[in-house]
């Protein structure tokens, strides 16, 4: 069930808007919707300049570029004035960098998220979606821990809205095909050396394309009641299969798991099973507290099938898998796009 929420005429802001997700989000929203304004909020002036070349306001009158950092609370208040919808994609996300620079990750991923929540409530934003990661489920590295904290802040943010209309929810999904720093461009670069480094031959990962991620977020914006955590049903792949697909003639060098990595990824843990509902194309983890749900803002997930105790959604126990031919097609598409 989806509430009839139309983005036509709405003012939308995306934090981290010059990243891989942000660029794809802007492209799809400009193509499929008619927002009053679409504001790209980010801290990198060069990336904004480059994005300006592709999405020029003369061709796309609704586009706006707003330089700022989510660490700067005052700047967020200025940016969120008269905004209806926020997609929060800004984050520091490199796992090794987080282990070496933990304070910086806390400032951006945790304090920055708190700043956004408070500014969104005070500015009267209607709907806010936070982007999470599979690494936030039972985290074993600092990056995942900061994203889990951000998820909790988002969900609990609904308790701070009082009489305000703002509602917060979270979308969590796995590795994004072809995004900056992802494994496909890395393998494509390494294949010229004749050896592909493999962390663990048994390693599995969830895989989602940028377009699938954006469209799932757009659906979540329509579904928001407040406090839900949305998880799409997406396929898994084996890292060893991906290496074979990209570089079938290369040798594999087993280098071992890096600090903070898991052999298999988790998106819904057993402890969340009793609060998880299953739908045709996604799962919903209900919030622990639901005080903000009322007659004027009814839950949208009541038609879901409740998952049994002990249920978990992991990349190694998935019922959907990408084959080597599938992965070869995906890798070719990524190479063409880059």
Q: What is the CATH number of the domain that holds 127?
A: 3.40.50.720
Domain-located, residue 250: no
Task: Record the pTM.
Answer: 0.92
Domain-located, residue 257: no
Domain-located, residue 136: yes
Domain-located, residue 217: yes
In this prediction, residue 61 carries a pLDDT of 96
Domain-located, residue 198: no
Domain-located, residue 249: no
Domain-located, residue 323: no
In this prediction, residue 98 carries a pLDDT of 94
How many residues would you count in the chain?
338
In this prediction, residue 100 carries a pLDDT of 93
Residue 82, SS3 per DSSP: coil
Number of domains in the chain: 1
Q: How would you write the pLDDT of the chain (338 residues) with one tens digit per residue?
A: 455 688 999 999 999 999 999 999 999 999 999 999 999 999 999 999 999 999 999 999 999 999 999 999 999 999 999 999 999 999 999 988 999 999 999 999 999 999 999 999 999 999 999 999 999 999 999 999 999 999 999 999 999 998 898 999 999 998 888 676 678 888 888 888 888 898 899 999 999 999 999 999 999 999 998 999 999 999 999 999 999 998 888 888 899 988 788 999 999 999 999 999 999 999 999 998 877 776 555 565 567 899 999 999 999 999 999 999 999 988 887 767 65
In this prediction, residue 74 carries a pLDDT of 97
228, 230, 278 from 303: Cα distances, Å: 14, 15, 9
Nearest residue to 127 (alpha-carbon basis) of 158, 166, 162: 166
The set of catalytic residues is 135
Q: Report how far residue 91's alpha carbon sits from residue 172's, in angstroms, rounded to the nearest whole number.
A: 14
Domain that holds residue 62: 11-174+210-232+269-311
Angle formed at CA 327 by CA 325 and CA 333, multiple of 5 degrees: 110
């Amino acid at each position: 069930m989806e509430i009839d929420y139309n983005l036509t005429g709405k003012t939308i802001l995306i934090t981290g808007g010059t990243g891989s997700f942000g660029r794809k989000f802007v492209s799809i929203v400009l193509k499929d919707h008619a927002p009053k304004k679409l504001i790209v909020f980010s801290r990198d002036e060069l990336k904004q300049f480059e994005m300006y070349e592709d999405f020029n306001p003369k061709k796309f009158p609704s586009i706006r570029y707003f330089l700022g950092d989510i660490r700067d609370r005052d700047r967020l208040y200025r940016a969120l004035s008269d905004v209806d919808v926020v997609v929060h994609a800004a984050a520091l996300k490199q796992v090794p960098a987080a282990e070496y620079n933990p304070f910086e990750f806390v400032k951006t991923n945790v304090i920055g998220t708190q700043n956004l929540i408070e500014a969104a409530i005070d500015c009267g934003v209607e709907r806010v979606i936070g982007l999470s990661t599979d690494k936030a489920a039972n985290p074993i590295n600092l990056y995942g821990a900061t994203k889990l904290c951000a998820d909790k802040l988002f969900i609990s943010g609904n308790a701070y809205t009082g009489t305000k209309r703002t509602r917060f929810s979270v979308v969590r999904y796995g590795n994004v095909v072809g995004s900056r720093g992802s494994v496909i461009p890395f393998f494509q670069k390494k294949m010229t050396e004749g050896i592909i480094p493999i962390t663990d031959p048994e390693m599995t990962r969830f895989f989602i394309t940028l377009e699938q991620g954006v469209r799932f977020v757009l659906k979540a914006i329509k579904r928001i009641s407040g406090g839900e955590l949305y998880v799409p049903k997406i396929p898994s792949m084996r890292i060893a299969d991906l290496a074979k697909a990209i570089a079938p003639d290369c040798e594999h060098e087993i280098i071992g798991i890096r600090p903070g990595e898991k052999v298999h990824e988790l998106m819904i843990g057993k402890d969340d099973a009793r609060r998880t509902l299953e739908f045709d194309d996604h799962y919903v983890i209900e919030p622990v507290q639901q005080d903000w749900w009322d007659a004027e803002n009814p839950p949208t997930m009541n038609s879901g099938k409740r998952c049994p105790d002990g249920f978990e959604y992991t990349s190694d126990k998935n019922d959907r898998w990408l084959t080597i031919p599938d992965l070869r097609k995906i890798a070719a598409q990524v190479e063409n796009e880059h």
